[in-house]
Amino acid sequence: MSTDRTQEEWDRHWMAEALIHAQRAAALDEVPVGAVVVKGNQLISAGFNQPISSQDPTAHAEVVALRAAAKVLGNYRMPGTTLYVTLEPCSMCAGAIIHGRVDRLVYAATEPKAGVVHSQEQFFERPYLNHRLAVTSGVEASIASQMLSDFFQLRRQQKREAKLSPDLPDSQ
């Protein structure tokens, strides 16, 4: 890969990769959130939301990607890494980011209900935390937001259609 890209160009490049993984989540009828871990502009790992399909409440895209990165790097601490995620992290994921010692977080869309980076609280600014990281928000936000909106609109439509469909007897 060329190293003469600007940081903004790299951010868009890696967020596009995270968006591909968000599409994988949507294909499994999971909330479309994707994440990638990058070190030195090299992809280390990727993940996507899969709590429903894996029956694991911790299987958020960020946690999946961080677990995989830790295995690749051979350490649960990941200095020098950047985590790209298509949605503002929740409190669980923010905690995992801190414990993993990720250097930088880049996220696309805000999460007004459960996001803890900017939306509900500024978690990473808490004085008791023993790790600090840089945060960039809004990278490819319109694409990520549209993907989420489309997903939930389809889900609501499917629920409406299910309510309108008469229950058919089982065929024997």
CA distance 155 to 157: 5
According to the annotation, is 99 in a ligand binding site?
no
Catalytic residue among 8, 30, 62, 111: 62
According to the annotation, is 93 in a ligand binding site?
yes
According to the annotation, is 131 in a ligand binding site?
no
Please confirm, yes or no, whether 62 is among the known catalytic residues. yes
- With both helix axes pointing from N to C terminus, report the angle between 141-164 and 7-27 in degrees, rounded to the nearest 10: 10
CA distance 97 to 77: 9
CA distance 85 to 88: 7
End-to-end CA distance of the chain: 59
- By the 10 Å C-beta count (0-12 exposed, 13-18 middle, 19+ buried), 74 is classed as exposed
Compute and round to an integer the Cα radius of gyration of the chain: 18
Residue 85, helix vs strand vs coil: strand
Q: In the numeric block, which tokens belong to residue 37? A: 């871990």
Residues tagged active-site = 62
Annotated binding site for Zn(2+): 60, 90, 93
Annotated binding site: 60, 90, 93
